[in-house]
Structure 1
């Protein structure tokens, strides 16, 4: 079984004074785009959040609350809540993901990750056997640094557009 882990606790420093995950993109809050893809895929869903307003946008998710901090902290907190065979890590600022892609990665042999031809990116499927390694990461690092060293990594090819995340206010245009 796979549990989707939505990381939605970032501080949005480059975005500006407002929370980017609450910003409206194509008619709904940014975080709802990947959240809806997870729900449409029918996956168990856990979200790591720091902001109560973001938590309110994710009523269908089991919530893990953290203090704002680096990505490794959110990843660790979320993985600690997962009892399935693997976690499908999804970032809350990636609005172009869809259920079909999430299911392709979740059903591939783990470990698996999206690949745009040059970069390993989330969404990524991490087997429970890698959880200790991943939870040992520190700072603002996700699992990509570990995944790219794995000879058994299943790379799921996707377009750069699909993997585009929102960092700046101008990215919403």
Structure 2
């Protein structure tokens, strides 16, 4: 007879102990200039701290940060995330796959966060998790992270050779699992002018 965890996995809503959170934080920041944008100060702390803190506060069995620099790795570790090192400048798909390769046994769903989206709120994540995997955020028709992917998709994602980040899988998500969030919560930082004045 299946136990309660198995029942919830079948329903697409794993218990927190069957969830992983992955923060993608290994981008090259080319459009930001010579400074690492993830270390640029947003208020009183480095930009990446917002996503790391959000991940650390999300109920999960496993919390990972995919990083390319010692400084960003230190920030993630101080927030309580395990770090996976990756060479800087690779495609987002490399970061995603690096995290998926490190998933612990028994994970049923994976929450993907981007370290350059500092305004995603706790309530946004709670609403996304309530939808159950698969789910993602949306602005109008555009689908984007944060995204909640079912673990059953992982083998296929790992097999794809082309540069396909999390966005390439969002088109599979049913419309009623695409959560409309405030546009200002989903802003990302690409260039210095994207930082608040």
TM-score of the two chains, using structure 2 as the length reference = 0.82
SS at match of 1:82: coil
Is 2:38 aligned against 1:21?
A: yes
Is 2:139 aligned against 1:116?
A: yes
Higher helix share: 2
Give deviations 1:45-79, integer Å, cap 9, x for gaps: 10000111100111111111111211000000001
Is 2:105 aligned against 1:85?
A: no
Q: In structure 1, list runs of 5 or more residues that go unmatched.
A: none
Equivalent pairs, count: 172
SS at match of 1:122: strand
SS at match of 1:77: helix
Task: Give the structure 2 partner of residue 138 of structure 1.
Answer: 162
- Cα distance in 2, alignment partners of residues 150 and 116 from structure 1: 14
Structure 2 contact 136–173 (Cα < 8 Å) conserved: no
Give deviations 1:33-53, integer Å, cap 9, x for gaps: 111112223333100001111
SS at match of 2:57: helix
- Cα distance in 1, alignment partners of residues 168 and 116 from structure 2: 19
SS at match of 1:57: helix
Q: CA RMSD in A?
A: 1.6
Residues 1:138 and 1:106: Cα distance change in structure 2 (over 3 Å): farther
Q: In structure 2, list runs of 5 or more residues that go unmatched.
A: 1-17
TM-score of the two chains, using structure 1 as the length reference = 0.92
Highest CA radius of gyration, 1 or 2? 2
- After TM superposition, where is structure 1 displaced by more than 3 Å over at least 4 residues in a row? 149-153
Structure 2 contact 119–187 (Cα < 8 Å) conserved: yes
- Cα distance in 2, alignment partners of residues 78 and 34 from structure 1: 16
Residues 1:63 and 1:72: Cα distance change in structure 2 (over 3 Å): same
Residues 1:167 and 1:119: Cα distance change in structure 2 (over 3 Å): same
